[in-house]
Structure 1
Amino acid sequence: MEERAKCLALLGAGALVGSVSTIFLLKLRARRTVKQCEEKGVELNITGNGNSRMAGLDLLSDEIVSEQLKRNIQFFGLEPQQKVTASYVVVIGLGGVGSHAASMLLRSGIGKLLLVDFDQVSVSSLNRHAVATRADVGIPKAQCLKEHFLSIFPECQIEAKVLLYDASTEEEILSGHPDFVLDCIDNIDTKVALLAACVRRGLKVLSATGAGARADPTRIRIADLRQSTNDPLSRAVRHRLRRDHGIEGGITVVFSLEKPKAKLLPFKGPSGEEENPSDYQILPGFRVRIIPVLGTIPAIFGQVMASYVLTQLAGLQVQTEPIVNLDIDHYRMLHQRLIEHEESLYGTALQVQVDVEEVMFVVKELWHGRSAREPFAKDVGRGMWRSVNELMLVRWDQEKPASVANLILLKFKEAEEHESRVLEDIKEREPEYFVRVTSILKRAELEFGL
């Protein structure tokens, strides 16, 4: 009991010291702020928009700011964090993705933020918004974020614009030489116009694609727009940029390799009957129908965007995982190789129940272009063009046909060894491998309704 009392006393003393030191720092900061501003002839703006950022002063010289960003400084180093703190970022679209991206940028010390969205907080958006509460319902999302942000990092210069991005607002939103623009818009017309304007102006832009109807956070990737797959929004944006603006690529996007788990819900009018959604659009081209959203996924999209921007601004080199994207000839080759192998082994290819498109699903979606014996990517991206020459599709269970739910990708020697064994032997000797493969094939079975 005595030892416990001592521990509690020490903890209490530590908490007291921490509280006193924080109060001391706050008071010291206030005195230094006034003194620095007097020396530099800077007028303090106490009223107005509530921003207390002082022009021309290094934010990290402030004790409170330095303490608040201490972990970032320890991670990046002082000079890289100074680059972050001196940066200006524009975030357009402040829903589930944009609000989380903006929130983490703020908490990481971005010195200047422009928040842009024409919409208001709704009750249904509370399942994925970063900061909004029920009390915020009905107010503009941009205003909502700014008010919350000023209580988190008041030194940040925050500007909120309740605007729809289009040709008439382009100059107002994109002027000022931002270091990065985050496109978190879910409307194709607006998204394409913004991305084209950023390319034309030479601005660094990071774009979010569809985060709705997904559930697997492990499949979120960062890559060039040309490499994004399984995303209808990406596909439409690629087509429009190429057709209307002659832009083939060079735009970095955050997207999910996962196929959407649901589609847009049918639109029902006031009568409860299904009606044409375009009759109810507030603005041309804006979606009225609802796509189901698991709130965690747009939040992770936003966090991924913030991480990418912060590391770019700080100059930290991060090697993102390359996207396996074989062309159709490679899938045809693997399909033909399967047919020839079946004929050689069984005397016929009648049990091959997959076409080239389904081979694409098996190779890309199930096995990510590598041997089923390699649980982690070792040779992806450009290396895949070479390694595919060493891979083939074979049956997992030799008693069943070569279907989507019964094909694994292996190297030639691995395939030969696999076909010399029975599944019971694999299950007994390699239980982890057996469970992993069967769970992947079960997913294929469910997706194709087999």
Structure 2
Amino acid sequence: MPSLNSLIPASHNGQLVLTALISSTVVALTILGAQKSLKEERVRDLKRSIHEAIDEDETGNAIPDFSSQRTSTSDSIPYDEALIAEHLSRNTSFLGPEAIKQLRNAHVTVVGCGGVGSHCVAMLVRSGVGSVRLIDFDQVSLSSLNRHAVATLADVGTPKVDCLKKHLSAIAPWVKIDAVQRMWTLEHAAVLLGGPQSYVVDAIDNLDTKVDLLAYCTKNNIPVVSSMGSACKADPTRIHIADISLSQEDPLSRIVRRTLRVSHGIASGIPTVFSSEKPNEASPNLLPLVPPTEGEAGDLAPMAGFRARILPVLGTMPCVFGATLANYIILQLSNFPQPTYGLWKDQTKAYAQMHANLTGQESRYRGNEKGTRLPMSEADLGYLVEEVWGGRSVVSELTSRLLFTRWQAEGTWGEERTPQDDRLTMDKIVVMTKDEVRTHEEEVLKKGRPVEEVYPPEVLERVRRGFERGKAWKVFRV
């Protein structure tokens, strides 16, 4: 083994080089050590300040005055900007520094802080939004823990807004968080939504309150984005964000859309997160309420007038809904280039064309009947083509140029009939390509050939399965 002396160069120049290398190494290690100590001290200061922020948490039912709400983070406790920059470094590298500045000057109000709302606000706070207001009257329950973003067993029985403020202040204490434990009402809307609003998030599960909030924001030009129901859903790939006028096959969005149109004259202009997943025979339904204690079911409701019911909720789905809301807001506030309504493709024109073609066929089938009307809407045909028939022709399984046609003739082609005779219904039509419809019309509907004679067994089996799906899912159509 070589000795230490043998490692020292014999020449004077070599000794100078070695000395320089050792000195440089010592200086570098000293600098790195000092930087590490400084960073550790900053982290310790930050952790100490977190406790201070939590201690300042206030509770109570009084409605605070938000008329002088400031959207800048400058009125918060000052924190080391280097630490905040490191916290937001991944978002900054994606969105750019100017977008982060806009987010830190933004103010978002989240109404409804359950599964969806909690995940939304958690991601807003983590992603750099500088000021948030939380509005919810409810408390954390044991059943909340399967889907709430931050709640723990220790939080059960405490207000949801206070729970969120406590935990999120420990994550990003430089964010201004207003916790308002109240039910949002139209009567107090001007106060609860006082001050500049970058966005309002509707994560409410009560129909009347949801409609009031969406109408108020729309009429007062307040940007708002709404979440529809995540209960009884299990497929995250079917979650979309689109204008409320384009939402489809979601019972909550359908009744909200209808109520807004009838009561407030609002038909569009509200970005909406919804699931196009269709219920089937395996889908869960509302479970019967089994009270854990004696008394009326209404005694279990958090507020008078609210129906106590048990919603089957897969905990992952509210998380995805909430993250989708937050993602939309972050990109909008950052002016990040994106399609106006993201994933959802508007097929309304295609469904209208299908409806017109089927109406024309039915008129010809009934002896050129004037004023032929179908007992089904364009949305009904959209449901059939996408869900019952899987967006494919029953003959070739192709996906382009699709139209509807009667499957079997129930009388002579061109024969005049009374309006009650052989009226077309959803369980009598199938999907084919345009050319296949022309052939089917000629061979089956005009010549009266049996479908068993025209089509091979595999086509007949696809049609049989489709009709069975339509029959099974019909009970879920509102």
Give the TM-score normalised by structure 2. Answer: 0.66
Once the two structures are TM-superposed, the CA of residue 19 in structure 1 deviates from its matched residue by 10
Is 1:153 the counterpart of 2:172? The answer is yes
Query: Paired residue for 1:264?
Result: 286
Query: Paired residue for 1:106?
Result: 125
Checking the alignment, whether the CA contact within 8 Å between 1:29 and 1:63 is kept in structure 2 is no
Structure 1 residues 407, 178: CA separation in 2 closer, same or farther (over 3 Å shift)?
Answer: same
Query: Paired residue for 1:363?
Result: 385
Is 1:250 the counterpart of 2:269? The answer is yes
Aligned partner (choices 288, 302, 310) of residue 322 of structure 2? 302
Query: Paired residue for 2:332?
Result: 312
In 2, Cα distance between equivalents of 1:422 and 1:412: 18
Query: Paired residue for 1:27?
Result: 41
Letter in 2 for 1:90: T
After the TM superposition, which residues 143-222 of structure 1 pair with which residues of structure 2 at under 5 Å, given as runs?
Answer: 143-222=162-241
Give the TM-score normalised by structure 1. Answer: 0.70
Once the two structures are TM-superposed, the CA of residue 270 in structure 1 deviates from its matched residue by 6.7
Structure 1 residues 373, 186: CA separation in 2 closer, same or farther (over 3 Å shift)?
Answer: same
Checking the alignment, whether the CA contact within 8 Å between 1:84 and 1:310 is kept in structure 2 is yes
Deviations 1:124-164 (A, max 9, x none): 11111111111111111111111110111111111111110
Checking the alignment, whether the CA contact within 8 Å between 1:337 and 1:392 is kept in structure 2 is no
Letter in 1 for 2:284: A
Letter in 2 for 1:49: E
SS at 2:186 equivalent: coil
User: Once the two structures are aligned, what percentage of the paired residues are identical?
Assistant: 37
Structure 1 vs Structure 2 CA RMSD:
4.3
Structure 1 residues 411, 66: CA separation in 2 closer, same or farther (over 3 Å shift)?
Answer: farther
In 2, Cα distance between equivalents of 1:149 and 1:183: 20
Query: Paired residue for 2:347?
Result: 324
Once the two structures are TM-superposed, the CA of residue 265 in structure 1 deviates from its matched residue by 2.4
Is 1:89 the counterpart of 2:101? The answer is no
Once the two structures are TM-superposed, the CA of residue 448 in structure 1 deviates from its matched residue by 3.5
When structure 1 is superposed on structure 2, of 17-26 and 362-371 the one drifting more is 17-26
Once the two structures are TM-superposed, the CA of residue 245 in structure 1 deviates from its matched residue by 2.2
Structure 1 residue runs without a partner (length 5+): 1-16, 33-44, 344-353, 375-386, 397-402, 427-436
Structure 2 residue runs without a partner (length 5+): 1-30, 47-51, 59-71, 366-373, 408-425, 440-450, 474-478
Query: Paired residue for 1:433?
Result: none
Checking the alignment, whether the CA contact within 8 Å between 1:50 and 1:150 is kept in structure 2 is no
Larger Rg: 2
Letter in 1 for 2:41: K
Letter in 2 for 1:298: P
In 1, Cα distance between equivalents of 2:173 and 2:153: 23
In 2, Cα distance between equivalents of 1:49 and 1:285: 34
Once the two structures are TM-superposed, the CA of residue 174 in structure 1 deviates from its matched residue by 0.3
Once the two structures are TM-superposed, the CA of residue 410 in structure 1 deviates from its matched residue by 3.5
In 2, Cα distance between equivalents of 1:48 and 1:289: 36
Matched positions, count = 376
Structure 1 residues 26, 373: CA separation in 2 closer, same or farther (over 3 Å shift)?
Answer: farther
In 1, Cα distance between equivalents of 2:268 and 2:193: 21
